[in-house]
A and B are shown apart, each in its own frame.
Chain A
Amino acid sequence: MDLQLIHVTETDVTTIIHLDKLDKGLVNLKAISELTNVLHYLEDESKCKFVIFRGSKKCFGYGLDTEKFYPEKIDYDGFRKWEAMLRSLDKLNKITIAVIEGDCFGAAVDLALTCDARIVSDDAKFCHDEMSKGMLPGQTVFQLGKFCGLGKMLELVQTGKVYSAAEALELGIVNAVYDAAGIEDGITATTDKYASNDINIHMLTRRLSKEAYSIIYDNYIGGYLAAQHRVLSLPDAEGSDVTEDDEII
């Protein structure tokens, strides 16, 4: 696969998607296409367990290169493709980690929030600056409140204030903060935590956890029982009979 804007290093266990070659840290349509294609490769072919997104030491990302989205006329398809890429990431059959050093602004936060875990360097800064660019935040609005609550989310996205790694940790937006020298150890510590996870169980837990914020219990329970049955029926899992209430049809 010919990749120009992102690059990928792959081992048996871990695939790292490097975002540090992005022009000014911005994601344009070509970068979205490359990210989408890499995710398809990972889903179809790669046996790795972890997928890690990394930027440079100074910048994880500054969001979408909207000038390239619509140099002459507004191309809403660019936003759709970005959201579709995030959807593919959300369904990916890997454990996904965002490693954030430096600035993480705009849609770069979308990408980080879609991952299973976020670990950051202590100099990391976050900002939802979409409104100041005359546009709306995408996945951030859908996801951020689930991490930090509606009130804080509104403040963050409506004021565009820059907040630190420590604040992000306190808000529950990131999982751990490391000093710059300790970030590599932090990655190892994080992958160690997830290493024993069965990927099917991991994926279903991810899905059910996210759905739990948008559906009522009566609807959740049917999905949970179906997912539980799938998990217990998988060849490598220890099986047992699922029992359920007659009332739930």
Chain B
Amino acid sequence: MSLKEYTLIDTKQRFLDAISGNSYPQILSVATANPPKRYSQLEVIDLFGTKDIKIRKLFKKSHIKGRYLYLPEPGENGIIRNESNHDLITKHLNGSIELGTKVTRRCLSQLDMDVTEVDHVVCVTSTGLLLPGVSAHLVKHLKFRNNIQRTDIVGMGCSAGIPSLRCATESASAGGPGKKVLLLCIEISSSAYVNYETIQAAVVNSLFGDGATALLLETQKDSSTSKGPQIIGFESRILTDHMDMLKYDMFENEENKISLILSKELPYIIGNNIEGVLYGLLDKYGLKKRDISHWVVHAGGRKVLESIKYNLGLSNIDIRHTMVVHEEYGNMSSGSVFFSFERLTKEKVAKKGDLGVLISMGPGLAIESCLLLW
């Protein structure tokens, strides 16, 4: 097409006109919670009693300043004991209940809402396996209604925030206006640790933090009523050729503990494939990248963020919330993307009509995206 033939189309306005009058589920409230204790990277490495110079250097050079973790009290030698499998499973259960309770109350209190008003709770965790699942424990502990709809999502790791948001969105949408869906991402990463003096274990131990997020979704009766960003749609990719790049290994360590394996090539594989996911999402709605005002990315790690920045042409300002979450909290798996989203919300810079994109990535190898409209 030549310049003469080219008619500049305001793709964002065209999109807004096309969806005018539609009602989409909205995020009415977002909250986060962490364990009481935050540790610097040096404190963690000292608590593990690590002497290996290369591992100590890895922790010291990390871009992460600190993380909230459930760690045992150290012994007289200043080193924490090696937690047994039973210890770790118990920690996951207790931590999930503590953080799940805290974050649910925070999320609902912002709306003056009681837990009995929640119609569906979607619970996400990949840092431990419980039966019954986390949702059942929280229903009991928080006294949700006993006819509440429950969904537990496990095994989707860091990418799970967005697929679970899709699940919650579809539930809120199918239930019609007024149905209240609570999405909880609760990750006790410190229950998926192995304290081995290997680079592989050290990378994981230096990266992940404990945290939980809660989002309350509801479709408004009147589509013009905007109480929070509307969830417009999703786009996903699974790259099964790269499945082994990010996975739990429970069989190659002598204690059969959950132990995460991360490939060094992972950030670049994500980078090579991220454009396809983003443009897949934008193309669905006839949008251009320049129509997007807000970018919220899962704080997967510094290399992952660099790879996304350089492959999508984003700046540090574009992903400022994620950079801060990464530095101040580490990678909190499924909930990380909503920690960044909460920071964007608190900034109060998103205006009516602004578009935002959420991006997460995780095992599978999965890349997930979601389009929001304020």
Contacts and interface: CB of A to CB of B under 8 A. Distances in A.
Interface of A: 1, 8, 10, 37-38, 40-41, 44-46, 88, 91, 204, 207, 218, 222-223, 225-227, 229-230, 233, 242, 244, 246-249
A228 to B, nearest CB: 9
Given A37-B8, A44-B288, A248 B302 contact: yes
A201 B303 CA distance: 19
B3 A227 contact: no
Contacts of A225: 303, 306
7 contacts: A1-B7, A10-B2, A10-B3, A37-B8, A207-B310, A222-B302, A230-B310
A44 B264 CA distance: 34
A41 B272 contact: no
A169 B110 CA distance: 61
Interface in B198-216: 199, 203, 206-207
A246 B203 contact: yes
B3 A41 contact: yes
Q: Which 3 A-B pairs have the closest CB atoms?
A: A222-B306, A226-B306, A229-B268
Q: Which residue, A204, A227, A242, A248, has most C-beta atoms of chain B within 10 A?
A: A248
Interface of A is mostly: helix
Contacts of A1: 3-4, 6-8
Interface string B1-17: 11110111000000000
A40 B9 CA distance: 10
B271 A226 contact: yes
B118 interface: no
A189 to B, nearest CB: 26
B62 interface: yes
A229 B264 CA distance: 12
B207 A233 contact: no
Contacts of B271: 226, 229-230
A226 B267 contact: yes
A83 to B, nearest CB: 13
B57 interface: yes
Given A222-B302, A226-B303, A204 B268 contact: no
B307 interface: yes
Interface in B86-137: none
Contacts, number: 77
Contact of A226 (B57, B199, B311): B311
A233 to B, nearest CB: 5
A230 B311 contact: yes
A223 B199 contact: no
Which has the most chain B C-beta neighbours within 10 Å: A38, A40, A223, A249? A249
B137 to A, nearest CB: 33
B303 A222 contact: yes
A45 B203 contact: no
B75 to A, nearest CB: 29
Contacts of B356: none
Contacts of B264: 244, 246
A204 B288 CA distance: 20
Contacts of B207: 249
B115 to A, nearest CB: 39
Given A46-B3, A226-B310, A233-B272, 17 more contacts: A1-B4, A1-B7, A8-B3, A37-B8, A40-B8, A41-B3, A44-B288, A226-B268, A226-B271, A226-B309, A229-B271, A229-B272, A230-B271, A230-B307, A246-B199, A249-B203, A249-B302
Contacts of A37: 8
B348 interface: no
B7 to A, nearest CB: 7
B232 interface: no
B58 interface: yes
A104 B267 CA distance: 44
Nearest to B61: A247
A246 B268 CA distance: 14
A249 B206 contact: yes
A218 B62 CA distance: 10
Nearest to A232: B268
